[in-house]
Amino acid sequence: MKHVYLDNAATTQIRDEVISVMTETMKGYYGNASSSHGFGRSSKSLIEQSRKTIAKYLNVSAGEIVFTSGGTEADNLVLRSAVRDLGIKHIVTSKIEHHAVLHTIEQLEDEYDLSVSYVGLDTDGGIDYTHLETLLQSENKTLVSLMHINNEIGNILDINRVAKLCKTHHALFHSDAVQSVGHYEMDLQALSIDFLAASAHKFHGPKGVGFAFIRKNTGLQPLIFGGEQERGLRAGTESVHNIVGMEEALKKAYNNLNKETDYIKGLKRYFIDKITKEIPGTTFNGCSGDSNKSTYTLVNICLPIPPKKASMLLFQLDLKGIACSKGSACQSGSSQNSHVLTEILNDTDLQKPSIRFSFSLYNTKEEMDYVIDVLKEFME
């Protein structure tokens, strides 16, 4: 049986070079980075070098990078501290954000005197920027939280436009950039963004590590208390091998960005052209079928299959060795429809099967052919 992994928006295969660097680090740098002896200082030195490298690629100062366990913790750190410590009374977000943002905001709404506004969306899930500007005219201190690239439908936010609107209206701006860091160049000096979240396992690095970009002098306070690690913003013994692995993954991603982007774009174009031809009636959710408006790393398709038969599709794909997703990996155990697709699809299309296929440099055109053949066989 073939094995085809097309769920890269959920997590990616770790590069061999990253595994090698992590293995060497675990063998040779096992001292606690907070210890004052030589073993500890050596570990600390590796962490700070990783911080400088990551900061360089984003064009920020090293002190603005705070290591976390991943994107979810980074989102929680920013949102909770903004409300608890920075006097935020109004959050503007959308109903198609990642649950790391949506559920955190819902909890904050229960705990604090906080108002939440949801910006309007068009039929493809695009942000209504005029409505956003209206919401920013609130008299309360406001934080905007909008993801750069939607993890289910791939829509790309005009992050520069949002940043300028926030600056004009004296609002803070946070973006979950988990699907874009390592896939797109980002100059955070040129971008008026205050907070950003990233996760290593989305760009061929290890799971369990990520970072928050926190603009200096914003006044953010820690979410996790204990020691003075991460300049007091994130207590806990640092995972040195994971941090070094993330650095290596980001280096490889950005040093090979143009070549790998062109390759994956080619796979996406090939997949779109072939499935449109081979399975008439296939539609693309959100902007995922438009390469100018969506990320090159994924498509989300809606297949013309009756509801009764649709329930078996993912099971059949799995039996054929194909890994993909009906939504985000965080929802894979849920019987409910994707909250993103529920916002943008009509009732008829919601009854049809929608599948997210997400690509990486490790995929091939031959795999695309196999997947489409399996889909055709199932439909017939």
Catalytic annotation, residues: 330
Give the model confidence (pLDDT) of 103-153 as tens digits: 999 999 999 999 999 999 999 999 999 999 999 998 899 999 999 999 999
The CATH code belonging to domain 4-12+257-379 is 3.90.1150.10
Q: Please state whether beta strands 210-214 and 172-176 pair in parallel, antiparallel, or not at all (unpaired).
A: unpaired
Tokens 């993912």, located at residue: 314
E-state strands within the chain: 4-5, 65-68, 90-93, 115-118, 142-145, 172-176, 195-199, 210-214, 283-284, 298-302, 322-323, 354-358
Whole-model pTM: value is 0.95
Strands of the sheet with 298-302, listed across from one edge: 283-284, 298-302, 354-358
Can you tell me whether residue 114 is helix, strand or coil? coil
Q: Which two tokens stand for residue 10?
A: 């959920």
Domain ranges in the chain?
4-12+257-379, 16-255
Residue 295: which of 359, 345, 355 has the closest Cα?
359
Please tell us whether the domain made up of 16-255 is placed in CATH 3.40.50.300: no
Give the model confidence (pLDDT) of 77-110 as tens digits: 999 999 999 999 999 999 999 999 999 999 999 9
